[in-house]
Chains A and B, each alone.
Chain A
Amino acid sequence: MLKRLSAIHSRLLIVFLWAIGCFGFFQGYYPYHFFYKEQNQLFLWTNDYLATYFDQPAWLACMVGDFLTQFYYYLYAGSTILTLSLLLLMGVLYAALRRIGLRKGWAFGVAVLLTTLEAFCHLRYDFRLASTYALIGGVSLFLCTFQKRYLLILFSPLAYWLFGYGVWVYLLLSIIKNWKWMIPTSITVLIGVCFLKGTYLLPTDRLYTYPGVGKLTMPNWYLEKQFQIDDEYYFGNWNKVVQLVESEESLTSEMLFFYNLVKAQQGQLPDVLLRYQPNVLGTFYKVGPDTPMLTIKNMNELYYALGDMTFCERATLMACVFSPNNRNNRMVKRLAECSLIKGDTAAAQKYLGLLENTFVWRQWAKKAPQSKVYAEKATMMNQQDTISLSDNAHAIMMQLLDSNPKNEVALDYILCSTLLLKDVKSFKRDYDRYCLSSPRIRKLYQEALCIWLAAEQAPQEQWQLYIKDMSVMQRFMQYNQQRGNAQFKDTYWYYFDKGKAPQI
C-alpha cells in the first residue's frame, strides 16, 4: 500500500515539476511568442464568426484553441493556458494508454514523453493551440467510446469532423483496442477523408493533418528577441525598449529600429544616431509583396509615428493580409486608429465594430473614438496630394513637414536619414528648408553643418549663422588636426570619415 502511494506521489511530483518547468520556461524565456500568436487572429464572439469554424475540419479543436489563444494577450495567461492544456493532454494520454493495456509506469512515461514533444512543437511561432486540442479531443473521444465497439466505429468520422488529425490518434488507440473492427474502419476513414477535398477545399496533405501537425523545434531566441522588442514598443513600455537595447550585446536590426523610434518620439534621435553602428532607421525600407512580415509591421509603426496615415494604413493592411486567414487584431486596431485620425468615421466604425466583438478589445473599441490622441495626431497628417510609385520615405517626410513644420519626429528622421547616408548636401538642403527659421540645435546637426561649411569654404557669417554650439566648433578644429582619431568616435565627423553608410 505504502509502495503504491509512494508511486502515485512520485508521479504527481513529476507532473508538478513538469508543469512548473513548462510554465517557468514559457513565462520566463519565451513569453513573447504568445503575444505574436495572439495578435495573429481576430476571434469574434458572434454566431457568424463561430459558424465559420464549420467550414473546416477540426472545428471544435480550432474553436477551443483559438478561443483560448485570444487570452494570451494578458500577462501570464499564455504560459498558464499552455501548461494547463499540455497537462490535460498528458492526463488523457495517460488514461488512454492505461485503457489499451500499458502498465502505469509505462503509460505515465509515454504520456510525459509525448506531452513534452508536443510542448517542443509550441516553440514554433506558427504552431496553434488548436493542434494540441485536436490531440486532446481525439484521445478524449477514445476514452469516451472505447468500451463499445459500435461507438468506436460510429465516432470515427465524428472524430475527424471535430478534431481533424486527432482522428488518427483516435484510430490508432482504437486499433490497439479492437484491431479486427477498427482496421477496416480506419482504412475507410483514411480513404473517406480524401473525398472531402471539395467540401473543405484543402490540399490533400492539409486534409490529413488539419489543423497542423507539430514539428519538433528548438527555441528560436532570435525571433523571441524580435518579438520582445516589438511587443514592448506596442504595449507602450518605451523605457523597457531603451533598457533592453542598451543592455544588449548583440543587437538585431529590429531592436535598433524600435530604439530609434522611441528616441525619435522623445526628441532624442540625433543624440543616439551614432551610438550603434550600423544603425537602422527603417526609412530606407521599401514595402512590397516580398518584404518580410516583421518589416511590414515595423513600417506601420514608423509611418504611424511620423504621422503619415496613407502609408501607415497601407503597411497595416498588408500585414493584416499576410497574417493567417488574413486576420490580425493588432492590425485591425491600427486600421481603426488610422481611420479615426483621418476622420473617416465609417471606416473606423467598421474596425471598431469588429473589435467590439472581441473579449480583449471590447472596452478599448468603445472608448477609442473619444480619445484626444487621435485628434492631436490628425494635425500631423499630410495635406498635400502627390502620386508616387513607391514608398519613398524622404519624399513622404518632406510632405509631412511641409504640411506641419512642427512635426519633430519627421524632422529628425529626415535629417538623420540623410546623415546616415553621409549625404550632407541633402541634409543641408533639408535643414535650410525646415530649420532656418527655428534652428534645431543638436550636436549631431551642428557637426554635420561643420562638414558642409568647411567643404563650401563658407565665410565667417555663414559659420555664425549655423554653428551655435562653440564647443562643437572647437572640437571640429581639433578633429581636423587628427582626422580619424578614435577619440572622436562619438562625432559625426568620425562616422563621415570611417563609418559605413547603409546600402540602399
Chain B
Amino acid sequence: MKTLSSIISLSILFLLFSCTPIPKNVSKSEAMPSIYPDYADVTIPVNIAPLNFLIRDEVEAVQVKAGDITLNARGNEVVFDEDDWRELLAANSDIEVTVTTLKDGKWTEYRPFHWQVVKDKVDPYLTYRLIEPDYEIWNNLQIIQRCVENFDEKALCDYRLTNNQCMNCHATGNQNPQLSMMYVRGPQGGAVLNQNGKLRKLAIKTSDMVSGSVYYGFSPSGRYITFSTNVIIPAFHSRADKRLEVYDSKSDVYVADLQENRIIRSSLLSDSLTFETFPTFSPDGKYIYYCAAPHVQLPQELQQLQYALVRIPFDEATGTIGTKVDTLLNAKGSSVCHPRISPDGKYIVYTVADYGTFPIWHQESDLQMMNLLTRQIDTMAIVNSPRSDTYHSWSSNSRWLVFASKRDNGLYGKPYFCYIDSNGKPHKPFVLPQRSPSFYDQTLKSFNVPELSKGEIPFDAVDVEQLLQQEAEPFH
C-alpha cells in the first residue's frame, strides 16, 4: 500500500512539475530561506534518505539547486528524486543549496546554505514508538521500524493485533537486529525477545520485584540484560506550561540471565534508601552504568529528586555483580537520566534535567556528553534546544546519535540525528526526513525512544500477535 501511495503521490508531483515556472528576473536576498524542517547547514550521512523540505511561506513556486541537481516545483514543497539524491550524496562532501522562490510574481534567491556529507554511515534502521503526546494513558500504539536510507516502514508491533494493549519501546543489543527486546503490557503481555529471528515471550518478574522490567539494556554477548523495575507515578503541574510530571516512587536494578531464565541481584542495586534506574551495560560488559538518587519525600520534595550517574562492575563470564559503586557525575542542581555509552566506549551521553526521571516532559532537558577517559563534559550546545532533548541512542560506528526532541512545539517528539566527529565534536542535528515535507505538520503522533540498528529486525507485528498467544517463560 505504501508503494501504491508513493506511486500516486509521484504521479501527482509529475503532473505538477510538468508545468512548473522557471525563475527569471531574480532578485537576491541576504536572508536565509524559511525552510522546514530546519535542514540548513547540517551534517548528514552519505546514506540518508532525501532531505525533503518545504518553504514556510505562501510561495507559488520554488527552485532548489543542490550540487548538480536543479529542482523546480510548483507550490512550497521540495521533494527530491531518490536516485538523484543518492548520486548527489555519493559525489559530494559539501553541497551548496540555493533556494529561489516565486511569491507575488517575483522571484527571490536566498542566501545559500550547506549540507556537509560525511562518509560515516548512520545505521540504516530506526525503531520508535508512535504515541500521542498524552499523559498517563495510551490508545492505538505502534512500534515502527523505518529504513532511514529511504522511506520504507514496517510495524514491529501494532495495537490492532495486540488488543490495543500498551507497548514499550524496542531496544537492540549492540545495534544488532538479531538481538532485541520490547514489551507488550497487560493480559497476554510480556517481554518479546528476538534472538536471531526466533521470538520468546518472557515474564521477567519475580515476587520480590516492585514491578516488571521497565528500562533495560543488553550485555555485549547478549546473554544478559540489565533492567530496572519502577513504580511510576504520574503527577500534574498546576502551571500550564509545565504539564506532566512523572516520577518513580520505588525503583531497583537487576540483571537477568536470558539463557537460564535467572535473576541476578545485588543489595547495592536494590537499596531501599536509594532509587536506582536507567541501567545500561558498558560496551565491554565490565560495568553496569545507571542512575541513582537518595530517597526523598514524594511528591513534596520532588524538586530535590536528583539522580547521579554511577556504575558498578559486572563479570559477564560468571554473571556476578561487583561490590563497589563509583560515582561518575553528581551534578548539583540537575538530575541525570538515560546514560548510553558509545559502542567504541569513548563517550557516554546522558540527559540532564532540573530534577526527576522523566525528561521528555521537562522543557529544560538537554543532552550532555562525557569523555569517559578524561571525564570532560561537553554540553552539546549545538545539539540542544530550549525544549526537551532526550532518549538518545548510538549508531554502531559511534559517529551518529539519534534522540527525541520536542524542539518544534514542546509536545510532539521527533527523531533527530547528530553527527559526532572523530574529535568528539557534535554537529548540528537534523530531523528524520520524510517523504512528504509536511508530514510532521500533519501527524498527531509523537516519536518515542528512537533506537538505531544495523539491519532490518527479522520479525513483524503478525509474528508478535502469534507469540502473544503463548505462555510466557517464567524467571526465578
Q: How far is the CB of B111 from chain A (nearest CB, A)?
A: 24
Which applies to chain A's interface (DSSP): helix, strand, loop or mixed?
Answer: helix
State whether the Cβ of A98 lies closer than 8 Å to any Cβ in chain B.
no
State whether the Cβ of A483 lies closer than 8 Å to any Cβ in chain B.
no
Q: Which of A274-282, A341-349, A438-446 contacts B (4 or more CB under 8 A)?
A: A341-349
| Chain B residues, CB < 8 A from A1 | none
Interchain CA distance A349-B411 in the complex, whole Å:
12
State whether B132 touches A317 (Cβ < 8 A).
Answer: yes
Q: Nearest B residue to A198 by beta-carbon distance?
A: B462
| Chain A residues, CB < 8 A from B158 | 201
Q: How far is the CB of B186 from chain A (nearest CB, A)?
A: 12
State whether B137 touches A389 (Cβ < 8 A).
Answer: no
Interface string of B99-140 (1 = CB under 8 A from A): 000000000000000000000000000000000111111111
State whether A326 touches B139 (Cβ < 8 A).
Answer: yes
| Chain B residues, CB < 8 A from A322 | 137, 139
Q: Which of A6-14, A86-94, A350-358 contacts B (4 or more CB under 8 A)?
A: A350-358
State whether the Cβ of B14 lies closer than 8 Å to any Cβ in chain A.
no
State whether A310 touches B239 (Cβ < 8 A).
Answer: yes
Partner of B409, one of A49, A349, A386, A399: A349
Interchain CA distance A493-B140 in the complex, whole Å:
50
State whether the Cβ of B82 lies closer than 8 Å to any Cβ in chain A.
no
State whether the Cβ of A475 lies closer than 8 Å to any Cβ in chain B.
no
State whether B161 touches A350 (Cβ < 8 A).
Answer: no
| Chain A residues, CB < 8 A from B258 | none
Interface size class of A (residues with CB under 8 A): 35 or more
State whether the Cβ of B441 lies closer than 8 Å to any Cβ in chain A.
yes
Q: How far is the CB of B153 from chain A (nearest CB, A)?
A: 10
State whether the Cβ of B312 lies closer than 8 Å to any Cβ in chain A.
no
Q: How far is the CB of A346 from chain B (nearest CB, A)?
A: 4
State whether B240 touches A44 (Cβ < 8 A).
Answer: no
| Chain A residues, CB < 8 A from B133 | 317
| Chain A residues, CB < 8 A from B8 | 51, 54
Q: How far is the CB of A99 from chain B (nearest CB, A)?
A: 31
Q: Given the interface contacts A51-B5, A203-B160, A346-B409, does A198 sit within 8 Å of B460 by beta carbon?
A: yes
Q: Given the interface contacts A46-B438, A48-B442, A314-B135, does A385 sit within 8 Å of B239 by beta carbon?
A: yes
Q: Given the interface contacts A310-B236, A386-B237, does A203 sit within 8 Å of B161 by beta carbon?
A: yes
Partner of B132, one of A321, A391, A396: A321
State whether the Cβ of B39 lies closer than 8 Å to any Cβ in chain A.
no
State whether B299 touches A389 (Cβ < 8 A).
Answer: yes
Interchain CA distance A201-B130 in the complex, whole Å:
15
Q: Given the interface contacts A55-B1, A198-B460, A354-B442, does A382 sit within 8 Å of B240 by beta carbon?
A: yes
State whether A382 touches B239 (Cβ < 8 A).
Answer: yes
Name A's B-contacting residues (CB within 8 A).
42, 44, 46-49, 51-52, 54-55, 197-203, 206, 288-289, 308-311, 313-314, 317-318, 320-322, 325-327, 332, 338, 341-342, 344, 346-347, 349-350, 353-354, 357, 381-391, 396, 399
With contacts A42-B444, A311-B236 known, what are 15 further pairs, Cβ within 8 A? A49-B442, A55-B2, A55-B5, A289-B137, A310-B239, A313-B243, A317-B133, A327-B444, A342-B240, A350-B409, A384-B238, A384-B239, A386-B237, A389-B233, A391-B236
